[in-house]
């Protein structure tokens, strides 16, 4: 069906491989959407609905990334109009999870810094589910026996107050993100995206004329963009442990996120596009490239720690907090910036490992 758009003189294999991948992702998107709707019309905090939201984001990212990398093979107008809509959707759906994960990371760090054992939170569940899950939890093994209330007793006042402040702020942000996601899922804008994806599942709008390039060269270009961006990273510094680079400007007057983080975030996105392009070429079930996997994990950790550090310093700007609270947030900020540095080190190690193996 997809091939009918394609000039027969062009690359039918490229077109059909690409179409098959996009159709599979679109089908996955629609399946997740159905689960979501059956579970009450929107994410209602059950594990099923959380998994469905994750699957929605996952396929939306893959469709969007594939439209970008293989642009010349696809109908230009259609893919240009679809990408920002998919980005809006996956961004909106991702926010709730991101706030929950950020809070979990920060509370775990506070517990570590206070020498107490943290209770693993259910980062992926909605606020309601998290509360329910925690209240109903049975005492587990020794490592999990400590309950939040007990832990707090061992914290300094400052750390406890910092934890409470972060919990308040990030839970509020999460609740707002939850409402925004619900609203988005009920919006006509979302229905238009869902309709486009439904079309995609049955018929991929390939470029009507012979594409100038085929699948492999386009995937190679995506890899080039990645390796160029990695080459521009300060990997020499990052590979030197305890370089203290991530905390530089940590107290500068500029309240914006560290500008030094941007190239790393960019590499994270390019790595993802490269990974999706490999999926198009070799299928999703292919062998996992452990180097890419580890490098990607390091960059996820980099992003999470950078955002957690920003959340800690933002919380410290709350008016009328006690000095002890601010002190704890300062320690926490620096701790997370240290995590940023550790993640860069891990990325450097992961990336250079393969280079040695290949070279």
Residues 6 or more apart whose Cβ sits within 8 Å of residue 131:
none
Give the burial class of 194: count Cβ atoms within 10 A of its Cβ; 0-12 exposed, 13-18 middle, 19 or more buried.
Answer: middle
| CA dihedral (53, 58, 63, 64) positive or negative | positive
Tell me the C-alpha distance between 289 and 92, whole Å: 29
Of 143 and 322, CB closest to its own copies = 322
* Range in contact with its own copies (rule: CB under 8 A) among 18-26, 70-78, 132-140, 335-343: 335-343
Give the burial class of 253: count Cβ atoms within 10 A of its Cβ; 0-12 exposed, 13-18 middle, 19 or more buried.
Answer: exposed
Closest approach of its own copies to the CB of residue 97, in Å: 25
Binding flag, residue 158, its own copies (CB under 8 A): yes
Binding flag, residue 141, its own copies (CB under 8 A): no
What is the contact mask toward its own copies in residues 159 to 198, using x (rule: CB under 8 A)?
A: x---------------------------------------
Closest approach of its own copies to the CB of residue 335, in Å: 6
Tell me the C-alpha distance between 207 and 3, whole Å: 10
41: left (phi over 0), alpha (psi -120 to 50) or beta: left
Tell me the C-alpha distance between 300 and 302, whole Å: 5
Binding flag, residue 262, its own copies (CB under 8 A): no
Q: Are 7 and 209 in contact (CB under 8 A)?
A: yes
Tell me the C-alpha distance between 94 and 193, whole Å: 16
Binding flag, residue 26, its own copies (CB under 8 A): no
Binding flag, residue 338, its own copies (CB under 8 A): yes
Binding flag, residue 143, its own copies (CB under 8 A): no
Please count the residues of this chain forming the interface with its own copies, following the rule CB under 8 A. Answer: 42
* Range in contact with its own copies (rule: CB under 8 A) among 112-120, 169-177, 223-231, 269-277: 112-120
| CA dihedral (101, 102, 107, 108) positive or negative | positive
Question: Quick one: which of 168, 169, 151, 147 has its CA closest to 159?
Answer: 151
Binding flag, residue 326, its own copies (CB under 8 A): yes
Closest approach of its own copies to the CB of residue 334, in Å: 3
* Range in contact with its own copies (rule: CB under 8 A) among 7-15, 29-37, 117-125, 244-252: 244-252
Binding flag, residue 235, its own copies (CB under 8 A): no
Position among 14, 74, 107, 316 found at the interface with its own copies (CB under 8 A): 316
Binding flag, residue 88, its own copies (CB under 8 A): no
Closest approach of its own copies to the CB of residue 150, in Å: 14
* Range in contact with its own copies (rule: CB under 8 A) among 133-141, 277-285, 291-299, 339-347: 339-347
Tell me the C-alpha distance between 299 and 275, whole Å: 14
Binding flag, residue 247, its own copies (CB under 8 A): yes
Chain position carrying tokens 């305890």: 242
Question: Quick one: which of 343, 236, 358, 336 has its CA closest to 296?
Answer: 343
* Range in contact with its own copies (rule: CB under 8 A) among 48-56, 95-103, 111-119, 282-290: 111-119
Binding flag, residue 313, its own copies (CB under 8 A): yes
Position among 311, 342, 350, 351 found at the interface with its own copies (CB under 8 A): 342
Residues in the chain: 359
Binding flag, residue 110, its own copies (CB under 8 A): yes
Position among 341, 347, 350, 351 found at the interface with its own copies (CB under 8 A): 341
Tell me the C-alpha distance between 35 and 42, whole Å: 9
Q: Are 295 and 351 in contact (CB under 8 A)?
A: yes
Summarize as ranges the residues that interact with its own copies (CB under 8 A): 110, 112-115, 154-156, 158-159, 241-242, 244, 247-253, 313, 316, 321-335, 338-339, 341-342, 345
């Amino acid at each position: 069906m997809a091939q009918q758009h394609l000039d027969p003189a062009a690359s039918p294999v490229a077109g059909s491989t690409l179409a098959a991948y996009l159709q599979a992702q679109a089908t996955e998107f629609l399946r997740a959407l159905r689960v979501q709707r059956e579970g009450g019309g929107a994410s209602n905090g059950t594990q099923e609905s959380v998994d469905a939201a994750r699957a929605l984001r996952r396929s939306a990212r893959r469709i969007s990334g594939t439209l970008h990398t293989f642009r010349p093979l696809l109908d230009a107008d259609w893919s240009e109009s679809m990408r920002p809509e998919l980005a809006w959707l996956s961004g909106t759906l991702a926010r709730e999870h991101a706030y929950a994960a950020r809070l979990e990371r920060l509370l775990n760090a506070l517990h570590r810094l206070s020498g107490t054992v943290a209770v693993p939170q259910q980062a992926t569940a909605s606020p309601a589910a998290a509360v329910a899950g925690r209240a109903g939890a049975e005492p587990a093994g020794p490592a999990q026996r400590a309950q939040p209330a007990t832990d707090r007793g061992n914290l300094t006042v400052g750390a406890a107050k910092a934890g409470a402040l972060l919990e308040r702020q990030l839970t509020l942000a999460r609740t707002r993100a939850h409402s925004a996601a619900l609203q988005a899922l009920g919006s006509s804008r979302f229905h238009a995206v869902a309709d486009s994806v439904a079309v995609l599942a049955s018929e991929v709008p390939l470029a009507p004329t012979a594409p100038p390039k085929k699948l492999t060269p386009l995937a190679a270009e995506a890899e080039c963009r990645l390796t160029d961006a990695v080459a521009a990273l300060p990997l020499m510094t990052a590979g030197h442990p305890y370089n203290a680079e991530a905390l530089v400007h940590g107290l500068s007057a500029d309240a914006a996120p560290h500008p030094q983080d941007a190239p790393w975030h960019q590499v994270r996105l390019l790595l993802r596009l490269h990974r999706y392009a490999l999926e198009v070429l070799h299928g999703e079930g292919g062998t996992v490239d452990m180097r890419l996997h580890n490098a990607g994990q390091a960059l996820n950790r980099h992003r999470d720690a950078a955002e957690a550090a920003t959340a800690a310093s933002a919380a410290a700007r709350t008016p009328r907090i006690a000095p002890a609270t601010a002190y704890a947030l300062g320690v926490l900020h620096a701790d997370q910036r240290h995590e940023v540095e550790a993640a860069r080190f891990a990325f450097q190690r992961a990336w250079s490992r393969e280079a040695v193996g290949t070279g």
